[in-house]
Amino acid sequence: MSLEKIKSSLEKAHQIKNTSAKFLRELQNPVRSEIAKASTDRDLSEEGRKKKADEIREQAGIEIMERLHLRKQQYTAELVKAQKAADRIVHAPKPKPDAETLRRFEKSFGSFKTELMLTPRADVAQDKLNDFIATIKDPYIADKVAAEFSDLASNILGGTTGDGTAKAKLGLAKSFEELRNKSESDEIKEARALLESADSSLADPKFYRAELYREAAREIMPVEYVDYLDDTDAFYREYDGLKPADYVDEELEKEKEIEKHNRPFDEGNDRLHALSKSIDKLHNQLKQ
C-alpha cells in the first residue's frame, strides 16, 4: 500500500469519527417521531402508550447498536489497514551496502566501541559518539549502529550520577534521533507519522464520550444499552443473541490470506522487524 492509500484509509477513519454525532442524530430523529406518535395515540390507554413507546425503544435500540457496531468495525478496519501498511514501510529492511563497505565499517565501529569504553568522562564520550555518527552516510549502517546504541549509551551513562545522568540522557536522545534521521528516507519518516496517527486512533477509539450523546440515546433506546454506545463489543458479549454478522473488509481479508500463505518464509523478516521495534523502544526510553 502506498503512502497515498495509507492517507486515504486514515481519512476514511477520521471521516467516520468526525461524523459520528451527525450519524447518531440521523438515527435518533425518526425514532423520536415514532415515540411521540405512540405517546399521543388516543386509541391506547396510558399504560398501552407507554408499552408501545418502550417497544419502539427496544427495537430501535437493537437496530442502532447494530449500526454503531458495524460502523466502529469499519473505522477500526481502515485504521488497521493504514497501521499495517505504514508499519511495513517503516520497518522494511534497508538495502545492504557492498561487502567492502561493510568490512570497513565493522573495523572502524569495533575500534570506536573500544575507544568509547575507555573514555572516562561522559561529556567527552558523548562528543566522540556524535563525531562517529556524523561519519555515517548509509541507512543500513545507521541501523546497525542504532541496534547497538543501548550498549554505547550504557558506556556513557555508567560514568554519570544525579543531574549528570539526566543531562547525558538528553544528549543521547539527540544522538539517537540523528541516527534515526540518517536511517530513514522522507518516505519512511512520513510513514512513521502516519503509523503514529493510526496507533493513537486505535488506542482511543471512543466517539461518544460527552454526556449529551448519552442523554440523546436515552430517549430512543433502553437505558441499559446506553453505556455501550462506545463499546459495542461489550454490548454483544452481554447480549450475545443480538450480535450481527461482523463487518468484512475485503482488503484485510485478502491480506490475511497472503500473510497466512507467506508465513513460513517470513521468519527472517520477522527478526528484522523485531530489531527495528527494539530500536523504536530504545528511542522512547531515551526521551523519558
pLDDT digits (tens, 9 = 90+) for 223-249: 999 999 999 999 999 999 999 999 999
Domain span including residue 261:
3-92+190-267
* Whether residue 204 sits in one domain with residue 171: no
Residue 111 main-chain phi, psi, to 5 deg: -65, -40
* Whether residue 157 sits in one domain with residue 52: no
* Whether residue 196 sits in one domain with residue 82: yes
* Whether residue 199 sits in one domain with residue 180: no
> Residue 131 has what pLDDT?
96
In angstroms, the first-to-last Cα distance of the chain is: 33
* Whether residue 177 sits in one domain with residue 106: yes
* Whether residue 227 sits in one domain with residue 254: yes
DSSP 8-state code for residue 242? G
Number of domains in the chain: 2
Q: How far is CA 177 from the centre of its chain?
A: 21
* Whether residue 227 sits in one domain with residue 153: no
* Whether residue 178 sits in one domain with residue 283: yes
Q: Scanning the structure block, which residue is given the C-alpha cell 454525532?
A: 21
Is 20 part of a structural domain of the chain? yes
* Whether residue 33 sits in one domain with residue 83: yes
Instruction: Count Cβ atoms within 10 A of the Cβ of residue 134 and give its class: 0-12 exposed, 13-18 middle, 19 or more buried.
Output: exposed
Residue 275 has pLDDT above 60, yes or no: no
Is 272 part of a structural domain of the chain? no
* Whether residue 212 sits in one domain with residue 87: yes
Confidence of residue 278 (pLDDT cuts 50, 70, 90): low
Residue 277 has pLDDT above 60, yes or no: no
Which amino acid, one-letter code, is at 87? Answer: D
Confidence of residue 257 (pLDDT cuts 50, 70, 90): confident
* Whether residue 197 sits in one domain with residue 163: no
Helix axes 46-90, 20-39, angle to 10 degrees: 170
Q: pTM for the full model? A: 0.76
DSSP 8-state code for residue 119? -
